[in-house]
Each structure stands twice: as structure tokens, then as C-alpha cells.
Amino acid sequence: MKRALTYIVLVFSLLMTGNASAYTLVIDPGHGGKDAGALGFISKEKDINLAIALEFGRLVEQNCPDVKVVYTRKTDTFIELDERARIANRNKADLFVSIHTNSTAAGKAGTTARGTETYTLGMHRAADNLAVAKRENSVITLEANYEEKYEGFDPKSSESYIIFELMQDEHMKQSVKFAGLVQQQFATHAGRVNKGVFQAGFLVLRNTSMPSALIELGYINNRQEEQFLNTKDGIAKMSRSIFNAFKSYYK
């Protein structure tokens, strides 16, 4: 209970810090460096995430001069999960967007699973949502002293996710709104299968003090989706979809 209260105090103290300057968007390309993320047949998740994140950011910079764009990484470097959140908080971000590529359990080769998903912070106990959160959170095991840094959080333990049920995010409505716009654009602009908006206990979203969402672009172990995400057309359509959603949300 003491640990739970510590998390709650941290979140609400962060929520009290407003942003009096220009609108700030933090873009987080998932994984990087020694953390390749999910592996496909011809590519690595970290590279897909970065390519689409950079193109999304470029579109914002070119078309929204009053928006400041901050990246958690712009190269193939390893950034710890808690540092990604700190970057957003230090910059007093108004929106945090983490970009990832999905994979089925254990990277099952040749999956028929397809489609995009966008997540906001929360913990609905659906097995599929929990499985995705566990996979994306497992990167912390590559960090030194992760048991101490994340206060005993075990990314593979369902019990560790109970803490998220105690956290009430006042930005949830805005996060869900943005996530819905992203999914809508993926379907209409990029022609992707819309799997919907979900909630899950992603560590990278836990300590951010602003509306936030984690995007799963498609399945890297689906040959067709992986190929699409590695083409110029695929990168252009996916980044434009996220930009269109951001533009509507920002207005």
C-alpha cells in the first residue's frame, strides 16, 4: 500500500505542473540500440518505429509551426523506459506518442494476425491486452538494477499490474480521444485493419503527466504487413495517418 501511495503522489504531483509555453509533442520511437524489439522476416521493430516516428515528426514540424516536436531518440540508440517518460515530463509535453510494431506471442512465424491497435494507460484484464503490455515492458530487464529502479515491478507478473488499477489518470479522456482518431485514420487513409482502442499497463505511459498513447502499427511477423511497413508508401501512409489524427486532436 505504501508503494501504491508513492505512485499516486508522483502522478498527481506531475499533473500539477502545467505548460505555459508553446504546445509540445513528444514522439517516442519504441526500442532501439541493443533492444531490437520484435523481429520480422526482413526487419527489426526498432527500425520501423524510428522511420515512421521521424516522418510523423517531420510532417508536424512542416505543417504546425506553433508545435514544438521533441523526440526520445532520433537514431538507433537504447533509451531506458523511465528516461522516455522523464523526457516528456521535463519538456512539459502536452501529448506523448509512443510508436511500436506488434508481434504475436513468441514471434510466431507467418502469423495471420493483422491490423493496428492503439493503447492508453489502464489495466483491463483481457488476456491479449496483458500479453502485449508484458512484451513491451520486458525491455526493462536489459537495464541495470531494474528491480530497484522500478520498485520491484516484474514485467512478467500479472500481480505487478494491479498497481495500475489504483491510478486515476485525469487525462484519460483526451488520451482515448487521440487514440480513436489514430485508429480511424489508419483505416481510412492507410487502409489498415482497425483492431480498436485498448487500455493496458505500459510502463512507458505510467509516469507521463500528459495525455499519452502507444501505437501498434501492425504485425511484424505477418509477411504482408511487415513488407508494407518497410516500403516508402507504407511509411508515408502510416506517418500521415498519425499526423492527420494529431492535427484533428490538436484543433
Kindly write down the DSSP assignment for every residue of 122-137, as one continuous string. Answer: -----HHHHHHHHHHH
Residue 23, beta-bridge partner list:
67
The answer to whether the beta carbons of residues 177 and 249 sit under 8 Å apart is: yes
**pLDDT-wise least confident of 61-70, 109-118, 190-199:** 109-118
The answer to whether the beta carbons of residues 144 and 78 sit under 8 Å apart is: no
Q: How many domains does the chain have?
A: 1
**pLDDT-wise least confident of 160-169, 172-181, 225-234:** 160-169
Spatial CB neighbours of 159, under 8 Å, sequence gap ≥ 6: none
Q: Which of 108, 153, 124 is nearest to 3 (CA)?
A: 153
**Cell numbers describing residue 3:** 508503494
- Under the banding of pLDDT at 50, 70 and 90, the label for residue 154 is confident
Domain assignment present for 18: no
Residues 228-248, mean pLDDT to the nearest whole number? 98
Q: Which of 199, 198, 242, 200 is nearest to 217 (CA)?
A: 242
Write the pLDDT tens digit of every residue in 10-37.
Answer: 544 444 444 446 899 999 999 999 999 9
The pTM of the full predicted model, rounded to 2 decimals, is 0.77
Cα(127)–Cα(125) distance, integer angstroms: 6
Burial of 232 (0-12, 13-18, 19+ CB in 10 A): exposed
Domain assignment present for 88: yes
In which domain, by residue range, is 87 found?
2-13+23-250
Query: Which strands form 67-71's sheet, in the order they lie side by side?
Result: 67-71, 23-29, 95-102, 212-219, 116-121, 194-200
User: CATH number of the domain that 41 lies in?
Assistant: 3.40.630.40
